[in-house]
């Protein structure tokens, strides 16, 4: 099996750690795959397919993935280095972590490089938010750099479309540089298409017609992450309708989800699975999100992550 690569975007709930468990239930030969609710594109990046269609309804994420795919790594890194100079940000990849840690006012706390980067980061954030057009190369470069220095290396916007995460502990270090390098190299070796679209858009079926495998990682109805806030019973039932359509079209699919968590059960999905009986197969996945920042209060809570596949395909693999 080829070495797995990490997405350059640290997307909450990404499936990097559990990919080996999941991939055993994916088709061995895929002509065209849809990575639906792709987020940072982790799953699609690590699947061997003739073509991969990445679909998500977050325009900032899709635009950033497209932008990074179009970059020359060396030129992009040079741009980032210039910005670290402009905003007086640390650059551990080139100069080492200790160089900047020694310049922090408190060298014994657990705040990493926050103290060194604080002023520059908030100026960077202010400059990005002041941009009228956030689809330009300049905007995407600033957005990527914001993510690198932000809390948990995350991406989040408020209701006004402003990037609103506070400063984080890390910087443009070796890990972040190597992730973006691996992404640029991999995405340019495959036939990839990026689409910004809601899963319930009727036009999605045009892409489904082209695909022979659809992987889905939607927001979890019983999840606690910020991005789950707008996902409710109504959208969960719409997802069930979409799954019914995939079964009707005899499309191979795999759905990641959580059946239960902290005493809550995903009733729509549980009932749908019960109704479908032998047409689907449910596989338990050995992983939880205890380390996630949104999960601090309930780190010891039990949760059941699953991968649901259509049984017709599953039986053909036996």
Is the pLDDT assigned to residue 113 strictly greater than 90?
yes
Nearest to 47 by CA among 70, 65, 29: 29
Q: Output the six-digit token pair for 268.
A: 């729509």
List pLDDT tens digits, range 214-238.
Answer: 999 999 998 665 555 679 999 999 9
Q: Which residues of the chain are in CATH 1.10.1020.10 domains?
A: 66-179
**Percent of the chain at pLDDT exceeding 90:** 78
Q: How far apart are CA 134 and CA 187, in angstroms?
A: 23
Average pLDDT estimate for 14-42: 93
Asked if residues 215 and 33 have their Cβ atoms less than 8 Å apart, the reply is: yes
Please report the DSSP string for 221-244 in residue order: TT--SGGGTT--HHHHHHHHHHHH
Assigned fold of 66-179: Adenine-specific Methyltransferase; domain 2 (1.10.1020)
Tokens 């009228």 locate to 132
Residue 57 has pLDDT above 90, yes or no: yes
Calculate mean pLDDT across residues 25-30. Answer: 92
pTM of the model: 0.90
Domain with CATH 3.40.50.150 in the chain: 16-57+197-317
User: Which fold would CATH assign to domain 16-57+197-317?
Assistant: Rossmann fold (3.40.50)
**Is the predicted pLDDT of residue 136 greater than 80, yes or no?**
yes
């Amino acid at each position: 099996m080829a070495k797995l690569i990490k997405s350059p975007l640290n997307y909450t709930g990404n499936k990097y750690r559990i990919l080996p468990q999941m991939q055993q239930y994916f088709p061995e030969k895929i002509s065209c795959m849809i990575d639906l609710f792709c987020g940072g594109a982790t799953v699609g990046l690590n699947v061997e397919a003739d073509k991969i269609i990445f679909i998500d309804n977050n325009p900032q994420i899709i635009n950033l993935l497209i932008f990074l795919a179009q970059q020359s790594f060396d030129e992009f890194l040079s741009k980032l280095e210039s910005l670290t100079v402009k905003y007086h940000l640390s650059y551990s990849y080139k100069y080492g972590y200790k160089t900047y840690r020694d310049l922090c006012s408190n060298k014994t706390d657990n705040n990493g490089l926050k103290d060194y980067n604080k002023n520059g980061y908030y100026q960077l954030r202010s400059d990005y938010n002041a941009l009228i057009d956030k689809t330009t190369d300049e905007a995407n470069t600033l957005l990527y750099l914001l993510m690198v220095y932000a809390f948990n290396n995350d991406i989040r916007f408020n209701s006004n479309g402003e990037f609103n995460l506070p400063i984080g502990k890390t910087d443009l270090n070796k890990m972040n540089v190597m992730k973006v390098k691996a992404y640029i190299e991999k995405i340019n070796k495959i036939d990839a298409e990026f689409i910004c679209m809601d899963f319930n858009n009727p036009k999605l079926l045009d892409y489904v017609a082209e695909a022979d495998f659809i992987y889905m990682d939607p927001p979890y109805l019983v999840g606690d992450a910020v991005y789950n806030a707008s996902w409710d019973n109504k959208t969960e039932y719409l997802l069930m309708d979409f799954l019914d359509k995939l079964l009707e079209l005899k499309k191979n699919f795999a759905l990641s989800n959580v059946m239960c968590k902290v005493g809550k059960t995903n009733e729509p999905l549980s009932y749908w699975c019960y109704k479908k009986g032998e047409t689907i197969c449910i596989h338990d996945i050995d992983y939880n999100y205890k380390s996630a920042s949104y999960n601090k209060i309930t780190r010891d809570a039990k949760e059941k992550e699953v991968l649901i596949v259509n049984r017709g395909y599953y039986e053909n693999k036996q």
